[in-house]
């Protein structure tokens, strides 16, 4: 009854665990106390329980979190955990704090979401679990519509329940520049002042961004900042005339077109701009990745695009970060070694997308799979919906977001070179955090399961290997927690919603 489906789950048939008042969270090992406190807080939100976190030997009825080298699933899978539930107590074992935290997320799903006065019971199970991919991501476009730090934290709270461990923030686009850059203050002062449809605008100060990154890190989520270049840059171009090919600043932009803007490539001022913004964001970001976009640069000549990308990718690499770019960047003949490409074409690759993506592998890097027709969270659920886009071959219903596999899209690209999967949420048409959640859930649960749970057997067709009905049943249970947490979700057909 867990999403994503655990690698091994055995119902032992023993008497269930009863969570009684006075139960304690027992913590042992480095990092266990922090994870224990998060469990206490999360159970408190779910069910108003008052649990204490202590360093003591476990007694009957306690919940133990044990972190030690010899804990977790056999084979020491990073982020793996074991979870044992019996009448005696609950025990989460892991070799890393991340593993313990994901074990805690599984436990949260097993504990009933609704407290009706009776003591809460959890069926006796033995779970051994580990992820298929290291990178399980969601992307939030805070450039088209801005979302406050509190709203982004709320989104982080919701994605960790699904064991999503990367949040890609699309920080800049034509409609807004959302991160303070000390050496180029107009980027946010002017470029951050509006958003799509003339929305409120806004930006993260360096301190607010640092705080957000720390909040995410405490929950084992890595923030992946994206500064999209050389296209998708109208907000920067409106802030500084010298960045424009013609030296004239355009008006701020609040529409939904793409591909009309470009930095003045090959120019010393632009190169300084690129070094400054990448340098400042790299310095603010503890995570290993820095994404520099490169998509839909339709107003940059091919020669200028290649020269620009070559320069910017190496500027990122020089900061010590791993450069990430949308698959178009794979056109560069000189990718820095280890650069990561993000694929956003379809389940059946179009144009040069497959080859552009494979060039990251040829450069010793890896790939994040975000096929737009199944992994994009801003695509409408049903034809004709008022919110969302329909350019990726029409609607994406829950079943299509579940029945695909990242290793069966690009011939020659298998698990070894796939870093993971990511579900992007673009926000041209999405204005509030409730709308964000409504578009993300339940489809993000489908993508999260594809990223975490074991691959279907090779010989089976994908639509029979992933058991949609089983997924839908588990999702119905998960939704009880969404209801308790106040997370919005779309009640799509085919799921036994509470
Ligand atoms: C394409 S996919 C974009 C975004 C849009 C999105 C809308 C990609 C790398 N770029 O600029 O917001 O479509 O669905």
CA of 44 to the centre of ligand 1 (A): 38
Nearest C-alpha to atom 2 of ligand 1 is from which residue? Answer: 344
* Average pLDDT over every residue of 460-486: 85
Number of CB atoms found within 10 A of residue 20's CB: 12
* Pocket lining for ligand 1, CB < 6 angstroms: 258, 295-296, 326, 344, 376, 378, 389, 426, 428
**Mutation choice for ligand 1 from 295, 379, 392, 425, CB with most ligand atoms inside 8 A:** 295
pLDDT in tens, 300-315: 999 999 999 999 999 9
- Structure token pair of residue 479: 């939704």
Q: Where in the chain is the domain with CATH 3.20.20.80?
A: 135-485
Nearest C-alpha to atom 7 of ligand 1 is from which residue? Answer: 426
- HSE toward the beta carbon, residue 38, CA cutoff 13 A: 24
Q: pLDDT band for position 4 (50/70/90)? A: very high
- In the set 88, 296, 382, 480, the catalytic residue is 296
- What's the rounded Cα separation, in Å, for the pair 10 and 15? 14
According to the model, what pLDDT value does residue 462 have?
Answer: 54
Q: pLDDT band for position 463 (50/70/90)? A: very low
Q: Where in the chain is the domain with CATH 3.30.379.10?
A: 8-129
- Reported ipTM: 0.96
Q: pLDDT band for position 43 (50/70/90)? A: confident
Nearest atom of ligand 1 to the alpha carbon of 376: 14
In the predicted structure, residue 112 carries a pLDDT above the cut 80: yes
Question: Model pTM greater than 0.90?
Answer: yes
Q: Is 56 a catalytic residue?
A: no
CA of 378 to the centre of ligand 1 (A): 9
According to the model, what pLDDT value does residue 111 have?
Answer: 93
pLDDT in tens, 170-211: 999 999 999 999 999 999 999 999 999 999 999 999 999 999
- Taken in order 399, 368, 465, 480, the sign of the CA dihedral is negative
Nearest C-alpha to atom 11 of ligand 1 is from which residue? Answer: 258
According to the model, what pLDDT value does residue 181 have?
Answer: 98
Q: What percent of the chain has pLDDT over 70?
A: 98
Nearest atom of ligand 1 to the alpha carbon of 342: 9
Nearest C-alpha to atom 8 of ligand 1 is from which residue? Answer: 295
CATH of domain 8-129: 3.30.379.10
Nearest atom of ligand 1 to the alpha carbon of 378: 14
Considering only the C-alpha atoms of the chain, give the largest distance between any 2 of them, rounded to a whole number of Å. 75
Nearest C-alpha to atom 6 of ligand 1 is from which residue? Answer: 426
CA of 392 to the centre of ligand 1 (A): 10
CA of 352 to the centre of ligand 1 (A): 17
- What's the rounded Cα separation, in Å, for the pair 461 and 483? 34
In the predicted structure, residue 299 carries a pLDDT above the cut 50: yes
- HSE toward the beta carbon, residue 379, CA cutoff 13 A: 23
Average pLDDT over all residues of the chain: 95
**Mutation choice for ligand 1 from 143, 426, 430, 439, CB with most ligand atoms inside 8 A:** 426
SS3 of the chain: the string is CCCCCCCEEEECCCCCEEECCCCEEEEECCCHHHHHHHHHHHHHHHHCCCCEEECCCCCCCEEEEEECCCCCCCCCCCCCEEEEECCCEEEEEECCHHHHHHHHHHHHHHCCCCCCCCCEEECCEEEEECCCCCEEEEEEECCCCCCCHHHHHHHHHHHHCCCCCEEEEECEECCEECECCCCCCHHHHCCCCCCHHHCCCCCECHHHHHHHHHHHHHCCCEEEEEEEECCCCHHHHHHCHHHCCCCCCCCCCCCCCCCCCCCCCCCHHHHHHHHHHHHHHHHHCCCCEEEEECCCCCCCCHHHHHHHHHHHHHHHHHCCCEEEEEHHHHHCCCCCCCCEEEECCCCCCCCCHHHHHHHHHHCCCEEEECCHHHHCCCECCCCCCCCCECCCCCCCCHHHHHCCCHHHCCCCCCHHHEEEEEEEECCCCCCCHHHHHHHHCCHHHHHHHHHHCCCCCCCCCHHHHCCHHHHHHHHHHHHHHHHHHCCCCCCCCCCCCC
CA of 426 to the centre of ligand 1 (A): 7
- What's the rounded Cα separation, in Å, for the pair 482 and 342? 29
Nearest atom of ligand 1 to the alpha carbon of 326: 9
pLDDT in tens, 129-160: 999 999 999 999 999 999 999 999 999 999 99
* Average pLDDT over every residue of 76-98: 96
Of 1.10.260.40, 3.20.20.80, 3.40.640.10, 3.30.465.10, the CATH number of 135-485 is 3.20.20.80
- What's the rounded Cα separation, in Å, for the pair 63 and 385? 45
pLDDT in tens, 328-385: 999 999 999 999 999 999 999 999 999 999 999 999 999 999 999 999 999 999 999 9
């Amino acid at each position: 009854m867990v999403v994503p489906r655990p690698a091994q789950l055995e119902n032992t048939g023993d008497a269930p665990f009863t969570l009684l008042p006075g139960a304690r969270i027992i913590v042992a090992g480095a990092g266990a106390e922090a994870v224990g406190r998060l469990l206490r807080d999360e159970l408190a939100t779910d069910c108003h329980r008052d649990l204490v976190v202590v360093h003591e030997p476990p007694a009957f009825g306690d919940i133990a979190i044990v972190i030690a080298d010899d804990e977790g699933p056999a084979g020491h899978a990073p982020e793996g955990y074991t979870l044992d539930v019996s009448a005696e107590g609950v025990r989460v074992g892991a070799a890393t704090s991340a593993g313990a935290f994901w074990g805690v997320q599984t436990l949260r799903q097993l504990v009933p979401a609704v407290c009706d006065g009776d003591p809460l019971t959890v069926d006796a199970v033995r779970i051994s679990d580990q992820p298929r991919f290291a990178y399980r991501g969601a992307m939030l476009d805070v450039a088209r519509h801005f979302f406050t730090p509190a709203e982004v934290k709320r989104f982080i709270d919701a994605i960790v329940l699904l064991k999503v461990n990367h949040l890609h923030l699309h920080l800049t686009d034509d409609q807004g520049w959302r991160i303070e850059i000390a050496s180029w203050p107009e980027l946010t002062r002017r470029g951050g002042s509006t958003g799509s449809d003339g929305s409120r605008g806004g930006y993260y100060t360096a301190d607010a961004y640092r705080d957000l990154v720390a909040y995410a890190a405490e929950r084992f989520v890595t923030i992946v900042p994206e500064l999209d270049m050389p296209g998708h840059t109208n907000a920067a171009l409106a802030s500084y005339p010298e960045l424009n090919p013609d030296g004239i600043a355009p008006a701020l932009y609040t529409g939904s077109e793409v591909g009309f803007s470009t930095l003045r490539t090959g120019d010393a001022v632009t190169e300084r701009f690129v070094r400054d913004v990448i340098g400042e964001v790299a310095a603010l970001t503890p995570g290993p990745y820095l994404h520099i976009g490169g998509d839909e640069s339709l107003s940059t000549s091919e020669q200028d695009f290649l020269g620009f990308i070559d320069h910017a990718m190496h500027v990122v690499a020089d900061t010590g970060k791993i450069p990430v770019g949308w698959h178009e960047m794979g056109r560069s003949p000189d990718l820095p070694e280890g650069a990561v490409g993000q694929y956003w074409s379809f389940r059946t690759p179009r144009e040069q997308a497959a080859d552009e993506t494979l060039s990251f592998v040829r450069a010793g890097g890896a790939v994040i799979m975000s096929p737009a027709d199944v992994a994009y969270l801003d695509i409408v659920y049903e034809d004709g919906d008022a919110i969302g886009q329909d350019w990726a071959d029409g609607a994406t219903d829950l079943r299509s977001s579940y029945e695909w596999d990242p290793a069966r899209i690009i011939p020659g690209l298998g698990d070894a070179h796939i870093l993971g999967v990511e579900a992007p949420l673009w926000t041209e048409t999405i204005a509030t955090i409730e709308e964000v959640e409504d578009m993300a859930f339940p489809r993000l649960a489908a993508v999260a399961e594809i990223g975490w749970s074991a691959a279907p057997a090779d010989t089976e067709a994908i639509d029979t290997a992933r058991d949609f009905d089983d997924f839908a049943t588990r999702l119905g249970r998960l939704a009880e927690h969404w209801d308790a947490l106040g997370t919005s979700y779309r009640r799509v057909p085919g799921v036994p919603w509470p």
